[in-house]
A and B are shown apart, each in its own frame.
Chain A
Amino acid sequence: MTALQGIRVVELANERISWAGKLLGDMGADVILVEPPGGDISRTYPPFADGDPNRSLYFRHYNTSKRGMVIDLDSAAGQTQFKRLAGSADVLLEAEPIERLSQLGLDYDTLCRANPALIHVAVTPYGRANPLSDLPATDLTLMAAGGPPWSCGYDDHTLPPVRGWGQQAYHTGSHYAYLSILTALLHRGNGGSGQFIDVSITAALNVTTEAASYAWLVAGAEVQRQTGRHAATQPTGETQMRCADGRYVNTGVPPRFPEEFGRLLSWLRELDLEAQLPEAVFLEMGANWEGPFDLSLIGSDDTITAIFSAGREALKLIAVSVPAYDFFIGCQNAGLAVGAINSPEEAFEDPHFKARGFQVTVAEDGQSVRYPGAPYQLPASPWQISRAAPALGEHTDQVLAELS
């Protein structure tokens, strides 16, 4: 027995919730993806394996560890099948238009009469009580409404705000759907009943914006976007630099402790760059400082201000002199929280993640395909891609046989 073994999840195929279904399936739940007769539209989404439009990598990524069946919910026979399936389920996960399931006689009030333990999770743009949920929307428009793009972009405000790539609105809605399901399962395990759970994607985005919301709620101030760093109510110093190889790094938190100034100075000397930094003398003062710095004096005390400024200047000089990866490793070895700005594939191929076993393989089309691995490691309840994404209707007969 593992955390989700034997928990049956019925997922009505929809790109807004496929990530939640995958998270459940990869932890061992029996996720049954229900698609309409023509298949879910995300089967047609690029990228494709070898350019073959029947092999969507998008669909494959989001639907690992699920079984697949076809049910025509618009037919009486399909509705009967769905009721039987929902009767066997612990969780129903769906992102349908508000009235759709009640029009079919498949709403929570109906389903829970036969299965009171059912946890029914509905994910919509604005929640089930708001008719705006039925308006057409994409990941981009949900993000705009929910708040994240306001905080993302450049110092130059003639450039548009930026929406972080990669279906993150759908991911955020899915994260909250999954959190809700785990909570409701714990509740049930402690003697609670099943229940209906209403998840709003735009509400989820509103509370995934850090200080943008609470600076307004607490102090009535609005953050402004800045290049490569936190949006803030007052402008802050740059934290992104371009290295000798043209790649960028995030310089994180500049040195704050005497030992950090000391390590930075040693590194500068190793690189033979000390002569190019007139402020190096202040690094030395920082390295020899007794006790912690009073950070509140930056800006008013001349010596402390000069030491902290020298720390930032030293980082800048090193950044333009070495490749991004070397800057990352060198700074981290000096104790500074710095990051190379990797592309997704560079992150995936990084030796750290490889050493932790993050790359996993899935058998697909007679090949062994590398996939991203576990977001968390539970040794007693292992994360695992138990099967590749299902072909359309691959398990229809199998599931129907189990239900009869």
Chain B
Amino acid sequence: MSGNADQALAGFRICDFTGQLAGAGATKWLAAFGAEVIRIEDPVRQGRWDILRGMEPFKPGQRGLDHGGGFNNHNTDKLGITLNLRTARGKEILAELVKISDAVTENFAAGVLEKWGFGYDALKAIKPDIVYVSNCGFGHTGPYHEYKTWGPIVQAVSGLTYTSGLPGQPPAGWGYSYMDHTGGYYMAMAIMLALLHRQRTGEGQWVDLACTEAAVTLNGPALLDWTVNDTPVRTDDGPNANRSQYVPMAPHGIYPCTGEDNWIAISCRDDRDWALLAAAIKADWCAEFTDQDARLAGQDALDEALGAWTRGFDKFALEAELRSLPIPAAAVQKPKERIERDASTAEFGLWPKVEQTAMGEVVVDGLPVHFSAADWKMERGAPCLSEHTEDVLTRLLGFSSGEVASLREEGVI
């Protein structure tokens, strides 16, 4: 249970308060590479501060705190314990756990851990070289530090929602929490950077991660266009996100195909790509668009004519034809299509099957990387509430089973 010695992060122990996706996604990576991630939950509220714990999707016929599909997906291979931090004994046990951990991680609203008596100064007093990474929407300083966020709010305030839309329409935004995923990536980066710093210097630190700042960096060239040229992204009509933002390319869009809600993405990077596409279309109107400047200037008309052509094709048949030319083209894949029809994902090993104590076998999101010497593994599903309390307390902290039973009766765990 203490991580696999051949794995890249074997030997690192994380005292983990993260939840949802923005936090749990970060420690999922660490656990997959063999770090021992110990998730701490509140027995009184039954771990419900992570709203995903008992939330759908559920496997058919299942329901309950130990059955949340998203929770399982984001917490693979972690240990789960409960600790009541309202009690003095609970706080003592947490301090003992911090003492043997390399990092403490959380994504509460700013100041929550401090209020419990485990701010950075307190953590450092317990373990001088501890790495502490907090991840909240606006960070722990600045005028908005008390403001609350979740993925869509981070995306809204940072500029990512505005830039994802079609002209003349409201912002479409991201139809999922791109910044919970990506905020989790930045949190994992921050944890590992701080662990590298500690590995090289022996020194710990507190990393204050503001998810919104990570998000603002993701529109860099547009920001320089603003600071250097005073060119704003905001226009009356709003951006067309399906067009090429920086690199001049046309056509460049998402076009309809046969059947219900079927679409294909096509990009022509240059005149050569266009010539190949025009030869496949074989229509007179193509002659108007022979050179790139004409295609860029006439993009509305070009998109309309191209859409009228693609509309007659099955998206996968057209994808195959355009790829044979070859020009950049890809069907807009639905979940079932990219998971089951597109062999590339399964061949990459992207959908591992884990065993979750209450749910049984479940297929989860794997990692999109492979290491030749020390690859990731996902074997165990998310912990049921308090599933590993006895294991952690006896194996790591030296309690006897009898003591664990008393702590349970006293409401400490």
Name A residues whose Cβ lies closer than 8 Å to a Cβ of B.
1-4, 23, 27, 45-47, 49-51, 57-58, 60-62, 108, 126-127, 129-130, 132, 135-138, 140-154, 157, 159-168, 171-172, 175-176, 178-180, 182-187, 189-190, 192-204, 206-219, 221-223, 225-231, 233, 239-240, 242, 248-250, 252-253, 328, 332, 335-348, 350-353, 355-356, 358, 369-381
Contacts and interface: CB of A to CB of B under 8 A. Distances in A.
B199 to A, nearest CB: 4
Contacts of A132: 344
B226 A345 contact: yes
B175 to A, nearest CB: 4
Given A137-B328, A219-B59, A372-B217, A183 B138 contact: no
B323 interface: yes
A349 B10 CA distance: 43
Contacts of B159: 342-348
Contact of A27 (B193, B203, B245): B193
Contacts of B58: 218-219
A9 to B, nearest CB: 14
Given A57-B228, A176-B369, A211-B70, A348 B223 contact: yes
A218 B57 contact: yes
Contacts of B247: 45-46, 58
B175 A230 contact: yes
Interface in B158-204: 158-166, 169-178, 180-182, 185-186, 188-190, 192-197, 199-201, 203-204
A353 B142 contact: yes
A-B complex: 3 closest residue pairs judged by Cβ atoms: A339-B156, A203-B368, A344-B159
A142 B329 CA distance: 9
Interface in B62-113: 69-70, 72-73
12 contacts: A3-B196, A3-B197, A61-B221, A141-B265, A141-B329, A175-B182, A200-B369, A202-B344, A218-B59, A248-B162, A371-B224, A380-B197
A55 to B, nearest CB: 9
A199 B339 contact: no
A338 B241 CA distance: 24
Contacts of B264: 144
A144 B331 contact: yes
| Chain B interface category by residue count | 35 or more
Given A154-B172, A166-B245, A197 B370 contact: yes
A231 B189 contact: no
A372 B220 contact: yes
A223 B335 contact: yes
A343 B162 contact: yes
Nearest to A249: B156
A41 B255 CA distance: 28
A11 to B, nearest CB: 17
Given A4-B196, A219-B60, A47 B246 contact: yes
A209 B217 CA distance: 20
B338 A152 contact: no
B233 A164 contact: no
A346 B273 CA distance: 36
B14 interface: no
Interface stretch (B208-216, B287-295, B390-398, B399-407): B208-216
In terms of DSSP, what is the predominant structure of the interface of chain A?
Answer: mixed
Contacts of A209: 176, 335
Contact of A138 (B73, B156, B252, B368): B252
A313 to B, nearest CB: 20
Contacts of A226: 175
Nearest to A5: B200
A216 B233 CA distance: 36
Contact of A183 (B33, B141, B212): B33
A214 B57 contact: yes
B332 interface: yes
Contacts of A376: 186, 189-190, 193, 207-209, 213-214
Contacts of A176: 185, 367-369
Most buried by B among A149, A210, A338: A210
Contacts of A340: 156-157
Contacts of A379: 205-206
Contacts of B163: 164-166, 343-344
A150 B171 contact: no
B69 A250 contact: no
Contacts of A337: 147-150, 153
Contacts of A62: 220-221
Given A140-B267, A141-B329, A166-B245, A57 B224 contact: yes
B138 A352 contact: yes
A162 B241 contact: yes
A130 B347 contact: yes
B371 A184 contact: yes
A175 to B, nearest CB: 4
Interface string B243-281: 011111100111110000101111101000100000000
Contacts of A347: 157-159, 212, 216
Contact of A190 (B11, B214, B256, B369): B11
B309 to A, nearest CB: 15
Most buried by A among B70, B148, B190: B148
Contact of A161 (B186, B254, B327, B372): B254
Contacts of B267: 138, 140-141
Given A189-B200, A203-B350, A375-B186, A152 B152 contact: no
A201 to B, nearest CB: 8
B222 interface: yes
B342 A45 contact: no
Contacts of B205: 378-381
B134 to A, nearest CB: 10
A3 B220 contact: no
B79 to A, nearest CB: 20
A163 B273 contact: no
Nearest to B273: A136
B375 to A, nearest CB: 9
Nearest to A130: B344
Most buried by B among A168, A179, A192: A179
Contacts of B365: 206-207, 213-214, 217
